[in-house]
């Protein structure tokens, strides 16, 4: 049986928390005398961590599957505890946004709302979401309403006939050539 000290050593250490609080797998222990400024910094760091972790996970998954084969997808399910469909959906979003097109100021969920659109449409709505500081739900409403308020000089092409509104469910979807890696 492990001691409390051994358990504490296994707990993750996050630079965003520093020595201000103790991060454990099951939660965070926040000292009663934590300053408001430290509380704000920890929250900002946790937000960044949360928004980045979906991208990290899916980039790790795509690398594993493309480099080591389909068996790594099954292993990713076991290692992450996430379901097959969740991992497929995440990979589909990542394939729709190459790393250089992802916006640091927007969450993975913002990008997922726009993944079904063409790249020019995605770029338009990502830019608009950044400028307006929209939540994911505001992005969803705006995209569903359509580009009615967009300036005329921005040419957003209509559907090319390759409508990918839903995650593809076709044989070979996990093949290395279909996953990309952006």
Q: Which tens digits make up the pLDDT trace of 83-135?
A: 999 999 999 999 999 999 999 999 999 999 999 999 999 999 999 999 999 99
Tell me what pLDDT residue 161 has: 41
In a domain, 3, yes or no: no
Taking only the tens place, the pLDDT of each residue in 33-70 is: 999 998 998 888 888 888 889 999 999 999 998 999 87
**Cα separation, 17 vs 22, whole angstroms:** 8
Q: Check whether residue 105 and residue 125 sit in a common domain.
A: yes
Q: Check whether residue 91 and residue 124 sit in a common domain.
A: no
Instruction: Give the structural domain span for 109.
Output: 98-151+163-169
Which of the pair, 152 or 68, is modelled with greater confidence? 68
Q: Check whether residue 51 and residue 68 sit in a common domain.
A: yes
- The total domain count for the chain is 2
Tell me what pLDDT residue 69 has: 85
Taking only the tens place, the pLDDT of each residue in 161-175 is: 443 333 333 333 444
In a domain, 76, yes or no: yes
Taking residues 76-86, what's their average pLDDT?
Answer: 91
Q: Check whether residue 140 and residue 68 sit in a common domain.
A: no
Report whether pLDDT(152) > 60: no
Tell me what pLDDT residue 12 has: 53
Contact 98, 111 (CB under 8 A): no
Tell me what pLDDT residue 171 has: 36
Taking residues 140-156, what's their average pLDDT?
Answer: 65
Residue 15 phi/psi, 5° resolution? -55, -30
Tell me what pLDDT residue 140 has: 94
Which of the pair, 15 or 119, is modelled with greater confidence? 119
Enter the tokens of residue 39: 């509380």
Report whether pLDDT(75) > 60: yes
Tell me what pLDDT residue 148 has: 54
Tell me what pLDDT residue 10 has: 52
Q: Check whether residue 16 and residue 60 sit in a common domain.
A: yes
Tell me what pLDDT residue 62 has: 92
In a domain, 174, yes or no: no
* HEC readout, the chain: CCCHHHHHHHCCCCCCCCCCCEEECCEEECCCCCCHHHHHHHHHHHHHHHHHHHHHHHHHHHHHHHHHCCHHHHHHHHHHCCCHHHHHHHHHHHHHCCHHHCCCCCCHHHHHHHCCCCHHHHHHHHHHHHHHCCCHHHHHHHHHHCCCCCCCCCCCCCCCCCCCCCCCCCCCCCCHHHHCCC
Tell me what pLDDT residue 3 has: 53
Q: Check whether residue 63 and residue 123 sit in a common domain.
A: no
């Amino acid at each position: 049986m492990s001691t409390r000290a051994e358990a504490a050593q296994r707990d993750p250490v996050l630079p965003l928390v520093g020595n201000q609080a103790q991060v454990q797998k099951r939660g965070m222990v926040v000292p009663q005398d934590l300053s408001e400024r430290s509380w704000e910094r920890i929250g900002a760091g946790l937000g960044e961590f949360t928004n980045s972790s979906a991208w990290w996970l899916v980039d790790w998954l795509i690398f594993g599957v493309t480099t080591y084969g389909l068996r790594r997808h099954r292993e990713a399910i076991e290692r992450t505890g996430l379901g097959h469909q969740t991992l497929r959906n995440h990979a589909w979003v990542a394939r729709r946004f190459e790393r250089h097109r992802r916006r640091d100021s927007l969450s993975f969920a913002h990008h997922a709302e726009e993944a079904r659109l063409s790249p020019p449409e995605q770029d338009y709505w990502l830019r608009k979401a950044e400028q307006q500081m929209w939540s994911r739900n505001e992005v969803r409403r705006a995209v569903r309403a359509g580009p009615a308020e967009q300036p005329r000089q921005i040419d957003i092409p209509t559907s090319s006939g390759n409508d990918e509104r839903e995650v593809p469910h076709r044989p070979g979807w996990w093949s290395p050539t279909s996953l990309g890696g952006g």
